[in-house]
């Protein structure tokens, strides 16, 4: 600990195990990518922890270290991967199935991928409807299955000699559910597990198992998961950091870049129509109306918060916002997202913006997974517990303390992330005031 540090940060020594429910396109693109980067075969583009710098002190000081040199992060060489899936494919087979990366690159990292055999999943077809697989646990009730997950975690930790673990949900999007009575506190939740309460989703059983086992948890999908009082209480009780929900990648990433810009110039928006076609397994699951509803909620929420129609009714009160996702198999993971934005300017004159983002979902998501696991592990070593709002930067629907609205503006989110790192190390927070340069 340096004298300036505001928090004591334990060193990132030993192995960090990453446990991933859902070894699909995102997870395998992430794992294969880390293995490729370790071997010098490719660069970790898109990752702040690997590439970004952080300015310290005044603009005249010229101090801009890499984030990875400024705070102690686990090294890529110390990462160990494991996970669960309803399919029996190992990570090599799953990466081939996902068809995100070229076969040549996947073959270069075949050995470490083949070594990752998914553990049996906790699965409930009422929560994910379009797919089904054989690699699932059986048990007396949900508590029994959660305990089997805890045994998996323990076994993984021991057999890989891990010093620390982080769990990140990369499983399919579960159908939309609201918090129920069973989610109100840990006692009710545990009773619900024993009584097989239908309101407890598989993702919540993984999160429960992680938090009971002392493992920080991140949620890459829009499912409710840890966004309920019982699991928030458990995270705080066990001094564990958590974050979510729903990786902010393609269209919503674009939205949170553009909407703050329009608002900053006080330009009005009449309507924002967003539509997507994608043909991967994620797209197939999202064809189900229940899963789509979960996704739609997180996708729709961002504009309202950024544009603040309650403060600017003349500009945004009547905004018509619509989001569509269509499963279109020929595109695979190479999705296309269109946005038509009807805006208006000086004296109300209308204009239009069209965006056609030919993106690759998992290529955009993989570096987010890497940053999230490294930052959650940092938070854990720094003794930070509960919701990590400074990681909102990575999410479409950031978790926040009760009563707070989430911050969606990506530039504010980035400032918050970097200021949190500065705060950890006792550096001045950057406010961009800068009057002193003109004294």
Ligand X SMILES: NC(=O)c1ccc[n+]([C@@H]2O[C@H](COP(=O)([O-])OP(=O)(O)OC[C@H]3O[C@@H](n4cnc5c(N)ncnc54)[C@H](O)[C@@H]3O)[C@@H](O)[C@H]2O)c1
Closer of 281 and 418 to ligand X (Cβ): 281
Q: Which of 44, 192, 220, 367 binds ligand X (CB under 6 A)?
A: 220
Residues 238-277 that bind ligand X (CB under 6 A): 246-247, 249-250
Interface size with ligand X, residues (CB under 6 A): 36
Q: Which of 48, 91, 101, 128 binds ligand X (CB under 6 A)?
A: 128
Q: Tell me if 152 contacts ligand X by CB under 6 A.
A: no
Q: Which of 230, 364, 378, 415 binds ligand X (CB under 6 A)?
A: 364
**Shortest reach from residue 122's CB to ligand X, in Å:** 6
Q: Which of 122, 243, 376, 382 binds ligand X (CB under 6 A)?
A: 122
Closer of 123 and 156 to ligand X (Cβ): 123
Closer of 54 and 285 to ligand X (Cβ): 285
**Shortest reach from residue 60's CB to ligand X, in Å:** 40
Closer of 174 and 427 to ligand X (Cβ): 174
Q: Which of 280, 301, 388, 413 binds ligand X (CB under 6 A)?
A: 280
Q: Tell me if 148 contacts ligand X by CB under 6 A.
A: no
Q: Tell me if 123 contacts ligand X by CB under 6 A.
A: yes
Q: Tell me if 365 contacts ligand X by CB under 6 A.
A: yes
Secondary structure string (H, E, C) spanning the chain: CCCCCCCCCCCCCCEEEEEEECCCHHHHHHHHHHHHHHCCCCCCCCCHHHHCECCECCCCCCECCEHHHHCCCCCHHHEEEEEEECCCCCHHHHHHHHCCCCHHHHHHCHHHHHCCCCEEECCCCCCCCCCCCCCECCCCCHHHHHHHHHHHHHHHHHHCCEEEEEEEECCCCCCCCCCCHHHCCHHHHHHHHHCCCCCCCHHHHHHHHHHHCCCCEEECCCCCCCCCHHHHHHHHHCCCEEECCCECCCHHHHHHHHHHHHHHCCCEEEEEEEEEEECCHHHHHHCCHHHHHHHHHHHHHHHHHHHCCCCCHHHHCCCEEEEEEEECHHHCCCCEEEEEEEEECHHHCEEEEEEEEECCHHHHHHHHHHHHHHHHHHHHHCCCCEECHHHHHHECCCCCCCCCCCCCCHHHHHHHHHHHHHHHCCCCCCCCCCHHHHC
Q: Tell me if 86 contacts ligand X by CB under 6 A.
A: yes
From residue 13 to residue 52, the character string flagging contacts with ligand X as x (rule: CB under 6 A) and all else as - is --------xxxxxxx-------------------------
Closest CA to 217 of 80, 383, 376: 376
**Shortest reach from residue 121's CB to ligand X, in Å:** 3
- Region from 82-90, 144-152, 371-379, 408-416 binding ligand X, contact rule CB under 6 A: 82-90
- Region from 45-53, 115-123, 158-166, 300-308 binding ligand X, contact rule CB under 6 A: 115-123
- Please give the residue whose beta carbon sits closest to ligand X in the complex: 24
Residues 155-184 that bind ligand X (CB under 6 A): 170-173
Closer of 118 and 268 to ligand X (Cβ): 118
Q: What sign for the dihedral angle of Cα 113, 119, 123, 127?
A: negative
Q: Which residues bind ligand X (CB under 6 A)?
A: 21-27, 84-87, 98, 121-123, 128, 131, 133, 170-173, 202, 220-221, 246-247, 249-250, 280-282, 361-362, 364-365
């Amino acid at each position: 600990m340096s004298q300036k540090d505001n928090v004591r940060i334990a060193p990132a020594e030993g192995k960090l195990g990453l446990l991933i429910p859902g070894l699909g396109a995102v997870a395998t693109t992430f794992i294969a990518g880390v293995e490729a980067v370790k071997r010098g075969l490719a660069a970790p583009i898109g990752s702040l922890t690997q590439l970004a710098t952080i300015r310290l002190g005044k603009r005249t000081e010229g101090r801009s270290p890499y984030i990875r040199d400024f705070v102690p992060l686990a090294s890529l060489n110390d990462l160990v991967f494991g996970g669960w899936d309803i399919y029996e494919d190992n990570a090599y087979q799953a990466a081939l199935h996902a068809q995100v990366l070229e076969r040549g690159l996947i073959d270069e990292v075949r050995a470490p991928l083949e070594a990752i055999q998914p553990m049996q999943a906790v699965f409930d077809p009422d929560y994910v409807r379009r797919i089904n697989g054989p690699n699932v646990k059986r048990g007396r009730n949900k508590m029994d299955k959660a305990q089997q997950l805890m045994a998996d975690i323990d076994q993984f930790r021991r057999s890989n000699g891990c010093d620390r673990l982080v769990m990140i949900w990369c499983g399919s999007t579960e159908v939309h559910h609201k918090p129920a009575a069973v989610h109100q506190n840990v006692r009710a939740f545990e009773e619900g597990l024993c009584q097989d309460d239908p309101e407890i989703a598989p993702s919540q059983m993984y999160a429960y198992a992680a938090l009971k086992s002392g493992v920080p948890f991140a949620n890459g999908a829009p499912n409710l998961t840890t966004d309920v009082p019982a699991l928030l209480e458990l995270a705080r009780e066990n001094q564990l950091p958590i974050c979510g929900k729903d990786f902010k990648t393609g269209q919503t990433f674009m939205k949170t870049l553009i909407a703050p810009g329009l608002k900053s110039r006080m330009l009005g928006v009449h309507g924002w129509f967003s539509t997507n076609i994608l043909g991967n397994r994620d797209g197939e699951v999202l064809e189900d109306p229940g899963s789509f509803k979960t996704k739609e909620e997180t996708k729709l929420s961002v504009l309202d918060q950024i544009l603040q129609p309650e403060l600017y009714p003349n500009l945004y009160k009547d905004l018509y916002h619509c989001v569509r996702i269509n499963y279109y198999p020929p595109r695979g993971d190479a999705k296309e997202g269109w946005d038509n934005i009807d805006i208006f300017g000086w004296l109300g004159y209308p204009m239009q913006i069209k965006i056609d983002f030919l993106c690759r979902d998992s290529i955009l998501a993989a570096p987010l997974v890497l940053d999230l696991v490294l930052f959650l592990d940092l938070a854990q070593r720094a003794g930070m517990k509960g919701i990590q709002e400074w990681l909102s930067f990575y999410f479409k629907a950031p978790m926040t303390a009760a009563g707070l609205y989430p911050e969606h503006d990506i530039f504010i989110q980035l400032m918050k992330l970097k200021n949190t790192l500065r705060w950890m190390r006792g550096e001045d927070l950057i406010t961009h005031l800068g009057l002193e340069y003109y004294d």
